[in-house]
Amino acid sequence: MNWAKDNKITFNEQKSKVMVVTRKKTEETTDVSIYLKNKPLEQVNYIKYLGTITDSKLNFREHITHTSRKCCTLIYTLAKSAKLSWGLKHAAINTTYKGAILPLMLYGAPVWIGAMEKKCNKTIYSRLQRLMNIKIAKAYRTTSNEALCILTGITPIEIQAEETANLYRIIRDRQNHQLDHEAELKDWTHPADSQSQSASKTKQMNTRFKYSEMEARMYTELDQELLYT
């Protein structure tokens, strides 16, 4: 609290929680007593911070489950207006998926991407994506998710999550992996050089056209000689 007073920061004890982070597989619970303004703080197993739910085991299972429930509610609401023979077309459903549901699924992917290595977490997101693929393709429920991804042209969710995480790492480390950067003045192409290059290309095109015209003329003259003989 001395640090908070020095930096003029106040903490709300009602919104503050305590969580013990450990990767031990045992089910032993460690109770800690931490007080803020002489009031005990509640000890929890997971905390939601900036839209990402972090649990005490750091496996992000709670975050994936919570996101899946939230997206399922949107999908079932959308299903009321997207039937097989009437309702929204596949283009509108695809736009809804990419604009509303996919951002929710991929939010915070650089943080929890390691959780997708577990089959149980990957299955949760794959089933969720399969529900949308069935609505977009208007296919049977027995169609496999791999076939649905091909029909709809949608990348599997585990690959999209990996791409999002890798893109974040590249942008974060853009000093070593620059996607787009400004060229220094010494590296600019001189206007005279650019004009000479364009002139040489034009000369090459004219030369090719001249040779093709000569070949056509020779063929025509030979054709005429054969015709008269």
Q: Please give the full DSSP string across 16-58, using - where no structure is assigned.
A: -EE-------S--------EETTEEPEE-SEEEETTEEEETTS
- Greatest C-alpha distance within the chain: 117
Work out the mean pLDDT of the chain and round it to a whole number. Answer: 77
If DSSP codes are grouped into helix, strand and coil, which group holds residue 176? coil
The closest of 86, 65, 82, 85 to 133, measured between CA atoms, is 82
Q: Per-residue pLDDT tens for 7-25?
A: 878 887 787 888 888 777 6
- In tens, the pLDDT along 150-180 reads 888 888 888 889 888 888 888 877 755 555 5
Q: What is the pTM of this model?
A: 0.65
Given a contact cutoff of 8 angstroms between Cβ atoms, the answer to whether 107 and 51 are in contact is yes
